Structure 1
Amino acid sequence: MTSTVTATVGAAVSALRRGEVEWARTALPARRRLLDQIHVNTARHAQEWVETAARIKKLTSDSPLLGEEWVSGPYSLLTGAAALAESLLALEEGRSPVDGYPMRPAPGGRTAVEVFPHGVFDALLLNGFRAEVWSRPGVDAETVRARAGLGQRTPTSTGGIGVVLGAGNIFSIAPLDVLYQLYADNRVVALKLNPITDPLLPVLEKIFAPAIERGFVRLITGGPEVGAALVHHPDVDAVHMTGSAATHDAIVFGTGAEAERNKAAGTPRLTKPITSELGGVSPTIVVPGRWSNADLRFQAEHLATQRLHNNGYNCIAAQVAVISADWPQKERFLAELRAAIGRAPQRPDYYPGSSDRVEAARQSYPQAQVIGARTLIEGLTPNRREPALHTEYFAPVLGVIELPGIDPAEFLARAVQVCNDEFEGTLGVNIIAHPATIKQLGDRFDTAVTELRYGTIAVNAWTGLGYLTARASWGAFPGHSLTDIQSGIGVVHNALLIAEPERTVLRGPFRPSPRSLLHGEFSLSPKPPWFVTNRTGATTLRRLTNFAKKPGVAPLAPIFASALRG
């Protein structure tokens, strides 16, 4: 390790040690004002953020894909800071952060907290979408209420210094992880940026300036040696990372033969607590039913979006569609899927190693179809030797696995078993099902949702929406260990500061408006602006971000006008 790295890391940790003393003295009202300042700074520098992101991802200034950078960049930080500020206000006033949020009993002795929509603007902007955070089994509503607040319930009892190892794919991940360490875990934070995102350093320094000035946050750049020095510094108390399971294991157990010995013996090289969000192979279950031609086309675009958003460089990108081999409409749906993949805008492969991972997938599957720069692999089988079920390609590669069964109940039960037992990772799963099929299944559908062991479950929606929902929890299904990490340990976001949530369950409309209304599905939402085939997504999501800067009635009409043209 060079003297420069040692000096840089040492200076950051020393400043944070002093900052922790100041953080312990900072009362809830001042902590809330800090969030308000971060919100104001994010609004002020949102344009610069998106322009920098576009340069990193090699997108032109008129690219229809810029909407992804608005919504997964400044919008996410704006809404996250605002929601956390509301939770701190509740605690200041002697209330629980979940007071005023509807709760209901969920299957298995769980409690479900409805976190979206929250307020009239949510109901208008994403009409027909809902999100609940479920507790773990045996936790009742009163316990959820009493424990919500996490580290802000005892603000003077700080948690030391936390290190966040930032992600390089979605640019709000690292800032939101900083807020979670600071508020949920009550720690001061050193953020080590992923080298891909180093050009964002000036923007993030402006956004977090009030926290940096008081020693609550430090932003650091550099290579693996800087990250290692931070993680293993004796004065660092905890680590959080976003990335791959392989990177996690290298941090925890080391590399090479030493790592193999350490992991086999269950003796980690890193002995301080580490939480993580690691992705995996996310499935989309397509439940057979009787769909119209418009339904087939729309849901094919939905599935294509789940894979191709950010070119597949998402921990939550759907990698394998699970469909019925006996569904009479299977071939038509697959034809629409191929067409949707072909219609999606092309984009540069900015993420390191993308082309190599695509080539590896094509070598494993000579039958793979090449559609532009994308790869579609049909004919997968549910077994532990199937590479596509156990290798996170993190690239524009989508697989299709067919399971027997035309009866929706039998198919769904089989699909749940395969997704739970054969797929790597537990971050998120999508279910696409016709409303009539869901009604026909009744309690059996609810049972399927309950039995899926995933941190976010989306019904007729994409789990990525869970990432964008500030009050939803985000992370793997609980129960993983350091030696079998899967999609990680712990959660982030969770702006209501709910203690130990088990999962988030999202529900959306099967059809966009106005078709939804014509078929008795009460939803006013048109084609979602995050669809890769949405013609006005960039404009709509930029306007939505501007709305998040200062919510009000006036910005709604331009948002709706753009959304309806999508």
Structure 2
Amino acid sequence: MTINTQHGSPQFPSPSSTIASSSREIMDASIQTLVEQKENWIHTPVATRIAIVDALIADFSALAPRWVAASLEAKGLEEDSPYAGDEWVAGTWTLLHSLRQLRQALVDIQKDGHPHIPGPVRTRPDGQVTAQVFPFRSYDRVLFPGIRAEVWMQPGVTAETLASTQAINYQSQTSEGKVALVLGAGNVASIGPMDVLYKLFTDNQVVLFKANPVNAYLGPLLEESFRSLIQPGYLRIVYGGATEGSYLCQHPDIDEIHITGSDKTFDAIVFGPGAEGAARKAARQPLVTKRVTGELGNVSPVIVVPGPWTEQDLAYQAEHIASMLANNAGYNCNATRVIIQQKSWSQRQALLQQIRDVLSHLSTRTAYYPGARERYQAFLDAHPEAEQFGTSNPQHLPWTLIADVDSTNADDICFTTEAFCSLFSETALEATSVVEYIERAVQFANEQLWGTLNITLLVHPGSLKDPAIAAAVDKAVAQLRYGSIGINYWAGTSFVLGSTTWGAFPGHEIYDIQSGNDVVHNSLMFSQPQKSVLYAPFRSKPAPPWFTNQSRISRKLFKQMVQFETAPSWWKIPAIIKTALSG
């Protein structure tokens, strides 16, 4: 088996599926139904759409336990596994949470023509407009204490014109109906359904969803829970691999394509596979000329800003960094891949040692994603000094740290290639001051690491008391070319908040797509976002439930959170808080 690992996301081998591929007759019939209903969808009243969302919430809530059980079985996890919480939070709660936000956005559109922004809108000194989008509702201030998030708009958007850039497909009914093909991702159970919702409710397009063979087992459950969209002909679900995907991408009645996955798959769609596709790309002659959007991979960095860290701080942030990798066994496009430190920081090695301690106590997981072992081996071949923690056998890969990667080696696999497995690296930059280091770290992340999806900065509040460092951090946030930025909070949580955007920093053309060319989630339906920025305390209390040392409570907590989103009520909050504090 040949695995293309150099530069970008992996080219995944073709996986097998437990669901038979759809025939061309079935695919054609599905598309024909969508063609017949695409004009009806764009004229569907907002009140009817709200009723559809209500049905989606009720139907998905009812089968959420079955959804989680199917995911656990496929990933080789028992119901009481310390990692079972991953499937409750990213697989079910995230979807229900986003549906709740979508419903509120539609209510606002029905009343005022655009979603209401829940927090202040500000104009920065450079003229860039930011809108606080989280907390989205009063419940969130209690459920996510200390967490807030902003969406920064592209230059040119003003505070006065911001509302006119929201829900633009609801402001005019002059557009023609379209059929969108959504190619599902195989790693996180909520990705496909949320992409479907975005194309339907924000882009106003009916959807043909092709399940990814890796998690096609969820397809029948999706058909059951999304029946309020399927019955009137606004959604169809089909199955298959690359052959079926190629047929659908080139189908004349498919108007647009959206993929969450690898830049290699994106290129194969747009230019065709193999040498012929590479030649078309080089000649700038795409095979598919319809609009193709993607949310793709990233070599996700964590910038560690030196400061007066205590032993407790080191332990907390080591758990934080390791948890960014361990979530979903590292099969996430937002997993930690490169830890960036200042070479002269006196606590650099202490932080690394704390990370080693965390990894050494983590049980390993089934390497369920196709090609994982081959990708892993490519990194070990390049870095035989890699440190491995835990079990390594035909089913499991160890947690792995590659420390002290030479930051001047621009072609190092750790910087150019998304591992998409249980492995990350650390590098250090020379700098004579913290301010200089921050500037160099921003340049390194922007210019040397592949992708623009998400980045996390860890900065101690004591450091921010220095006006020069505070200014450098603010400048860094403005200059970082990433779609999501987390300050003291994993930027990957932008994926689950819903009101934040999720996708690459804008500007990638199809000839150098990197992390993609559009956003999803974005429940306030901004049409010109640039990035999302999350802010959190340096040490959240209680610790986030996705931390590995909170695994004892995360499964129970997110079951409660799922029940909460089914029918939100202040009466349910005390039990949730009690569970969160019991860890």
TM-score range, shorter chain: over 0.9
What SS does structure 2 have at the residue aligned with 1:322? strand
- The separation in 2 between residues aligned to 1:99 and 1:424, in whole angstroms, is 33
Deviates most, 145-154 or 387-396: 145-154
Q: What whole-Å deviation, never above 9, does each CA across 1:98-147 have from its counterpart, x for those lacking one?
A: 35532111353211111111222100011001100010112111211122
Report the equivalent of 1:519. Answer: none
User: How big is the shift at 1:94?
Assistant: 2.4
- The separation in 2 between residues aligned to 1:58 and 1:108, in whole angstroms, is 50
Deviates most, 114-123 or 404-413: 404-413
Tell me if the contact between 1:88 and 1:152 (Cα under 8 Å) persists in the aligned partners: no
What is the percentage of aligned positions where both structures have the same residue?
A: 39
- The separation in 2 between residues aligned to 1:549 and 1:528, in whole angstroms, is 22
State which of 452, 473, 476 in structure 1 corresponds to 2:504: 476
1:99–1:466 CA distance, 2 compared to 1 (3 A): closer
Report the equivalent of 1:553. Answer: 570
Report the equivalent of 2:549. Answer: 533
Report the equivalent of 2:454. Answer: 428
- The separation in 1 between residues aligned to 2:406 and 2:162, in whole angstroms, is 41
Report the equivalent of 1:345. Answer: 363
State which of 230, 237, 253 in structure 2 corresponds to 1:212: 230
What SS does structure 2 have at the residue aligned with 1:429? strand
Report the equivalent of 1:399. Answer: 425
User: Normalised by the size of structure 2, how large is the TM-score?
Assistant: 0.93
- The separation in 1 between residues aligned to 2:281 and 2:508, in whole angstroms, is 14
1:429–1:18 CA distance, 2 compared to 1 (3 A): same
Tell me if the contact between 1:344 and 1:533 (Cα under 8 Å) persists in the aligned partners: no
Report the equivalent of 2:4. Answer: none
Report the equivalent of 2:494. Answer: 466
What SS does structure 1 have at the residue aligned with 2:419? coil
Report the equivalent of 1:486. Answer: 514
Q: Which amino acid aligns with 1:379?
A: D
State which of 484, 496, 505 in structure 2 corresponds to 1:456: 484
Report the equivalent of 2:14. Answer: none
What SS does structure 1 have at the residue aligned with 2:574? helix
1:431–1:215 CA distance, 2 compared to 1 (3 A): same
Instruction: Confirm whether residue 80 of structure 1 aligns to residue 98 of structure 2.
Output: yes
Structure 2 stretches of 5 or more lacking a match?
A: 1-19, 391-397
Instruction: Confirm whether residue 121 of structure 1 aligns to residue 147 of structure 2.
Output: no
Aligned 1:29-48 pairs, distance under 5 A:
29-48=47-66
Q: What whole-Å deviation, never above 9, does each CA across 1:6-54 have from its counterpart, x for those lacking one?
A: 2121111001011213213311110121111111111111111111111
- The separation in 2 between residues aligned to 1:60 and 1:26, in whole angstroms, is 43
Tell me if the contact between 1:345 and 1:532 (Cα under 8 Å) persists in the aligned partners: no
Aligned 1:23-172 pairs, distance under 5 A:
23-106=41-124, 108-155=126-173, 157-172=175-190
User: How big is the shift at 1:4?
Assistant: 6.6
- The separation in 2 between residues aligned to 1:39 and 1:436, in whole angstroms, is 44
- The separation in 1 between residues aligned to 2:265 and 2:328, in whole angstroms, is 21
1:63–1:144 CA distance, 2 compared to 1 (3 A): same
Tell me if the contact between 1:311 and 1:395 (Cα under 8 Å) persists in the aligned partners: yes
State which of 378, 385, 403 in structure 2 corresponds to 1:378: 403
1:161–1:379 CA distance, 2 compared to 1 (3 A): same
User: How big is the shift at 1:79?
Assistant: 1.4
- The separation in 2 between residues aligned to 1:542 and 1:106, in whole angstroms, is 40
User: How big is the shift at 1:429?
Assistant: 0.4
State which of 160, 174, 187 in structure 1 corresponds to 2:192: 174
Tell me if the contact between 1:379 and 1:402 (Cα under 8 Å) persists in the aligned partners: yes
- The separation in 2 between residues aligned to 1:209 and 1:3, in whole angstroms, is 21
Report the equivalent of 1:520. Answer: none
- The separation in 2 between residues aligned to 1:436 and 1:3, in whole angstroms, is 57
Q: What whole-Å deviation, never above 9, does each CA across 1:379-417 have from its counterpart, x for those lacking one?
A: 212332111101111001110001113622111111000
- The separation in 1 between residues aligned to 2:314 and 2:443, in whole angstroms, is 25
1:240–1:107 CA distance, 2 compared to 1 (3 A): farther
Report the equivalent of 1:521. Answer: none
Q: Which amino acid aligns with 1:238?
A: E
Report the equivalent of 1:14. Answer: 32
What SS does structure 2 have at the residue aligned with 1:290? coil
Q: Which amino acid aligns with 2:387?
A: Q
Deviates most, 351-360 or 392-401: 351-360
Q: Which amino acid aligns with 1:545?
A: V
Tell me if the contact between 1:324 and 1:406 (Cα under 8 Å) persists in the aligned partners: no
Report the equivalent of 1:437. Answer: 463
Q: What's the C-alpha RMSD, in Å, of the aligned pairs?
A: 1.5
- The separation in 1 between residues aligned to 2:242 and 2:299, in whole angstroms, is 26
Report the equivalent of 1:501. Answer: 529
- The separation in 2 between residues aligned to 1:265 and 1:142, in whole angstroms, is 43
Report the equivalent of 1:511. Answer: 539
1:232–1:45 CA distance, 2 compared to 1 (3 A): same
What SS does structure 1 have at the residue aligned with 2:140? helix
Aligned 1:185-196 pairs, distance under 5 A:
185-196=203-214
- The separation in 2 between residues aligned to 1:127 and 1:25, in whole angstroms, is 40
- The separation in 2 between residues aligned to 1:15 and 1:111, in whole angstroms, is 42
Report the equivalent of 1:238. Answer: 256
Q: Which amino acid aligns with 1:478?
A: P
State which of 289, 311, 335 in structure 2 corresponds to 1:293: 311
- The separation in 2 between residues aligned to 1:265 and 1:313, in whole angstroms, is 33
Structure 1 stretches of 5 or more lacking a match?
A: 514-525
User: How big is the shift at 1:492?
Assistant: 0.3
Q: Which amino acid aligns with 1:265?
A: A
Q: Which amino acid aligns with 1:417?
A: Q
Q: Which amino acid aligns with 2:440?
A: R
Q: Which amino acid aligns with 1:81?
A: L
Instruction: Confirm whether residue 414 of structure 1 aligns to residue 440 of structure 2.
Output: yes
Q: What whole-Å deviation, never above 9, does each CA across 1:226-264 have from its counterpart, x for those lacking one?
A: 111111100110000011111111111112221121111
Tell me if the contact between 2:304 and 2:339 (Cα under 8 Å) persists in the aligned partners: yes
User: How big is the shift at 1:442?
Assistant: 2.3
User: How big is the shift at 1:156?
Assistant: 6.3
Report the equivalent of 2:3. Answer: none
Deviates most, 452-461 or 323-332: 323-332
User: How big is the shift at 1:294?
Assistant: 0.5
Q: Which amino acid aligns with 1:69?
A: E
Q: What whole-Å deviation, never above 9, does each CA across 1:211-231 have from its counterpart, x for those lacking one?
A: 100000001111211111111
1:4–1:70 CA distance, 2 compared to 1 (3 A): closer
Tell me if the contact between 1:87 and 1:149 (Cα under 8 Å) persists in the aligned partners: no
- The separation in 1 between residues aligned to 2:73 and 2:437, in whole angstroms, is 45
Deviates most, 104-113 or 204-213: 104-113
